[in-house]
Amino acid sequence: MSEFDCIVIGAGLAGLAAARDLQSAGVATLVLEGSDRPGGRVKSDLIDGYRLDHGFQVFNSGYAHIKNTGLLKELGFTPFVQGLIPFRVVGKIASPSDLITPFLRGVFLTNPSQVDHKVRREIYRSFLHGRAGLLRAGAGSFTDALAAPISDIHYGETAHRIDGQSVTTDYATYSARHIVVATDPVTATQLLPEIEVVRMNSSTTWYHISDEPIPNGSRFAVNLHGALINSVAISDIQPSYAPAGKQLFSSTSLNIVSESEIRRDLSNIWGRDTTRWELIGRYEIRQSLPVHPQGKPLYSAVQLDEGLFVIGDHRAYPSQQGAMESGKRAARKIIEREVRERSLNVGNQR
């Protein structure tokens, strides 16, 4: 049985944020990740020269924990079009809410009225303090960079059971004084049946290649009516997302719809016949974002007992900032305990 000070289960944003802080404080930490790479929901694929993020992934320079990594500039952060309203609405605007509500549906993956006002306030604040944008090598480059300095990450090793201070995986049993569950909420409830079930919003991101150049494709389009809620020529903002001379469109839907419905909406949004646009990728993300209903506290407890923690954006508010904040909260508690007990041990040896 291998022993560590802490075991972090999951190498998404929350788990990586926790592991980095723990390792920096001298806490021996093992990260267990069931997939073949870090990132959780923040991943990218490179297919035939096109960068396809798993879902519509943007980074907000107004999120403190994103900004404080110092990685945005290093990774080639490019903001969306600047301006007071950096998007256009497709459809007839009948009221002021028609101007902003369609955009926010893409942020929350549901009608914003269903989201607690405290969450809406935090998200609004982030847009006031920063800009949303893309990274040169795709969203996955951020989590790759977060994971790079962490010394002990086991990929392709799924945690199946937690028993007290031990974690059993496909290959081994590990023990630690602290265990941090940093998985998606469905997996977290399987490992920790005592925590509440968190519902998740789903979404599907469609990637199409235009058969002719579409002007003003970088102008983010939000759709008042139809299956698609938004669409943008993602390669117009970050050219590295497509081979030279090609134009890659990223579009998002919330419900299960046919490709013909998607093409109909694309034609309406961009004013072109899209029947010949090549569909190069489709990512159905069933667990895109936690539901944060009215009345739910902005933050949920990350510590279940003395040595057991659960983190993720479902323990904070649904965002990259919330995920990383939960990881850092858990790390602070573990570090405080480690420092306190090490001080006691030193005192007892005198």
| pLDDT tens per residue across span 151-180 | 999 999 999 999 999 999 999 999 999 999
- Position 341 scores a pLDDT of 81
Mean pLDDT over 54-74 rounds to 95
Handedness of CA 108, 113, 118, 124 (dihedral sign): positive
As a residue count, the chain comes to: 350
Mean pLDDT over 271-286 rounds to 95
Confidence band, pLDDT 50/70/90 cuts, at residue 200: very high
Domain ranges in the chain are 2-41+141-198+296-349, 44-63+73-138+200-290
Mean pLDDT over 286-305 rounds to 95
pLDDT in tens, 121-154: 999 999 888 889 999 999 999 999 999 999 999 9
pLDDT in tens, 70-93: 999 999 999 987 555 678 899 888
pTM to 2 decimal places: 0.94
Higher pLDDT among residues 1 and 305, named by residue: 305
Mean pLDDT over 16-43 rounds to 97
Distance CA 281, CA 43 (A): 14
Gyration radius of the chain's alpha carbons = 21
pLDDT > 90 in the chain, percent: 84
CATH class of 2-41+141-198+296-349: alpha beta
Same fold, 2-41+141-198+296-349 and 44-63+73-138+200-290: no
- For residue 296, give both structure tokens: 């739910």
pLDDT at 267 over 60: yes
Residue 4: C-alpha distances to residues 29, 178, 245, 274 (Å): 6, 9, 51, 55
Distance CA 235, CA 249 (A): 7
3-class secondary structure, 305: strand
For β-strands 228-233 and 50-53, DSSP reports them as unpaired
- Position 345 scores a pLDDT of 67
pLDDT at 349 over 80: no
- Position 87 scores a pLDDT of 84
Which distant-in-sequence residues (6+ apart) come within 8 Å of 57 by Cβ?
42, 44, 138, 139
What fold, for 44-63+73-138+200-290? Answer: Polyamine Oxidase; Chain A, domain 2 (3.90.660)
User: Token pair 């080639």 is at which residue?
Assistant: 76
Q: Which amino acid is at 139?
A: A
Please, what is the average pLDDT of the chain?
93
Confidence band, pLDDT 50/70/90 cuts, at residue 350: low
- Position 342 scores a pLDDT of 76
Phi, psi of 33 (to 5 degrees): -130, 125
- Position 227 scores a pLDDT of 94
- Position 308 scores a pLDDT of 97
